[in-house]
Amino acid sequence: MTDMTSAPVPQKDDGNLFHKLELDMRLLGMIGALFILCIGFNWFTDGRFLTPRNIFNLTIQTVSVAIMACGMVFVIVNRHIDLSVGALLATTSAVMAMMQTQILPNSFGLGLGHPLIWVLAILSGLLVGTLIGAFQGWMIGYLTIPAFIVTLGGFLVWRNVAWYLTSGQTIGPLDQTFLTFGGTNGTLGTSWSWVVAVIASIGAVWAMWSSRRSKAGHGFPVKPVWAELTLHGIIVASIFGFIAVLNAYLIPERRLERMFEARGEVMPEGLTVGYGLPISVLILILVALVLSVVAKRTRFGRYIFATGGNPDAAELSGINTRLLTVKIFALMGFLCALSAVIASARLSNHTNDIGTLDELRVIAAAVIGGTALAGGFGTIYGALIGALIMQSLQSGMAMVGVDAPFQNIVVGAVLVLAVLIDIIYRKRVGAK
């Protein structure tokens, strides 16, 4: 057999630094926008915006929307939309709240604080979310009702199912262990946060090297070693920088005192303890990692993108696009339930208006993050940065003291502007 691969692969020879690093210009643009935003707010607030305390709060406020935005990327890439995520969050939150405060203690006789309560409550919430999502996906995929209509209906239905389940009341207090998923009440502490930073760094470097090895093994061009090492340096530095900031936010003295009192101990004089990485943020990072792998390296993800790019081609390639739709919406429902855990734990109650307007924030985050509503394009990391930009805008304006109506006016304008910039960028680059 003749060797067909012997034709030399032409080397990319444009001397552009960014090309050598093979960085995504769109990603750089979004990070740049976030950066400018943060610096700007920091200047206007006399340095109060970029403090460990505010960054800590910003991240835990972003988690719930960001988790759903990751799923929304798949939904939009597949040429659908989900307007029901906020309502679905409310229903699953109501189910979990009722389970842990009423059903499990009263009907199953588990005492309040029983270790099974939070596990069963979360499992039931995730199950309900997945089932509702799958049901909506079935109506979209198999009954061919447009996703816009199904989820617009769902928006009304699930918001009011939540109301009905709880009779419109605030349900609480929630289980103590359950509350650790909310953010402030559940952090890893400084030492474990450093451990996470080390593991994450090793994982990131290993993943990049193994991808390089696999490319080189087939004789494909790889970027120069110095570029690879520079990228590693930037990523490891970012991971450690992020953890360092979260560790630098100290638990307030009086709160620390109470924690010692609760254990029957006396707080040593002059002790300071940092919060470290919140469990909710760790969950978000894991969700984003898993979904990135799903998007790029699994058949499921490949088929979502193929169907978004050309539904007919996907079908002619033997892909079951209907079942695919069911799976995507089931995943979206699961993520809504996961967000519900974090959102209700952060508020330490289930409230009747939980998740209101979240559908719009989630869609906006995905779209600002570069997900094309026409389908076929979108990234998980883009959605994360989109969610961060949205949350920074909102809380930054609140800190600066912008009037409430102007806050929403600005957020709306930014959304439209972001999409305009994206369209211009795509035209310039010539990508579709």
Partner 1 sequence: MAEHSNAPLVEMKNISISFGGIKAVDDVSVDLRPGEVVGLLGHNGAGKSTLIKVLSGAYAKDAGEIFINGNKVDIKSPRDARANNIETIYQTLALADNLDAAQNLFLGRELMTPFGLVDDSAMEAECRKIMGRLNPNFQKFNEPVSALSGGQRQSVAIARAVYFNARILIMDEPTAALGPHETQMVADLILQLKAQGIGIFLIDHDVHSVMELCDRASVMKNGKMVGTVKIADVTDDDLLSMIILGKNPMEKEDV
Residues forming the site for partner 1 (CB under 8 A): 4-5, 7, 10, 214-215, 217-220, 293, 297-299, 302, 305-310, 312-319, 376-377, 430-432
Smallest distance, Å, CB 318 to partner 1? 4
Cβ closest to partner 1, residue 307 vs residue 344: 307
Cβ closest to partner 1, residue 169 vs residue 317: 317
Smallest distance, Å, CB 118 to partner 1? 32
Closest CA to 275 of 56, 62, 63: 56
Cβ closest to partner 1, residue 293 vs residue 413: 293
Cβ closest to partner 1, residue 258 vs residue 297: 297
Task: Confirm if 100 and 178 have CB atoms less than 8 A apart.
Answer: yes
Instruction: State the DSSP code for 431.
Output: -
Q: Is the sign of the CA dihedral 17, 23, 26, 31 positive or negative?
A: negative
Cβ closest to partner 1, residue 85 vs residue 328: 328
Cβ closest to partner 1, residue 169 vs residue 214: 214
Task: Confirm if 325 and 78 have CB atoms less than 8 A apart.
Answer: yes
> Quick one: how far is CA 374 from the chain centroid?
21
Beta-bridge partners for 278: 187
Please name the residue that has the structure tokens 């943020």: 281
Smallest distance, Å, CB 299 to partner 1? 6
Q: What is the dihedral of CA 160, 162, 163, 166, to 10 degrees?
A: 160
Cβ closest to partner 1, residue 298 vs residue 408: 298
Task: Confirm if 375 and 308 have CB atoms less than 8 A apart.
Answer: yes
Q: Is the sign of the CA dihedral 85, 89, 91, 92 positive or negative?
A: positive
Cβ closest to partner 1, residue 213 vs residue 255: 213
Smallest distance, Å, CB 68 to partner 1? 23
Smallest distance, Å, CB 231 to partner 1? 18
Smallest distance, Å, CB 38 to partner 1? 32
Instruction: State the DSSP code for 222.
Output: -
Q: Is the sign of the CA dihedral 12, 18, 21, 25 positive or negative?
A: negative
The helix/strand count (H/E) of the chain reads as: 17, 0
Smallest distance, Å, CB 393 to partner 1? 30
Is residue 315 exposed (0-12), middle (13-18) or buried (19+ Cβ within 10 Å)? middle
Cβ closest to partner 1, residue 333 vs residue 378: 378
Rounded to the nearest 5 percent, the helix, strand and coil shares of the chain are: 75, 0, 25
Distance CA 188, CA 196 (A): 9
Task: Supply 265's token pair.
Answer: 């101990």
The amino acid that residue 302 corresponds to is R
Cβ closest to partner 1, residue 43 vs residue 220: 220
Q: What DSSP string runs through 108-177?
A: S-PPTT-HHHHHHHHHHHHHHHHHHHHHHHHHHHTS---HHHHHHHHHHHHHHHHHHHHTT--B-PPPHH
Smallest distance, Å, CB 302 to partner 1? 6
Question: Rounded to the nearest 5°, which phi and psi values hold at 187?
Answer: -125, 160
* SS3 call for 187: strand
Task: Confirm if 109 and 316 have CB atoms less than 8 A apart.
Answer: no
Smallest distance, Å, CB 426 to partner 1? 11
Cβ closest to partner 1, residue 143 vs residue 316: 316
Smallest distance, Å, CB 313 to partner 1? 4
Smallest distance, Å, CB 364 to partner 1? 22
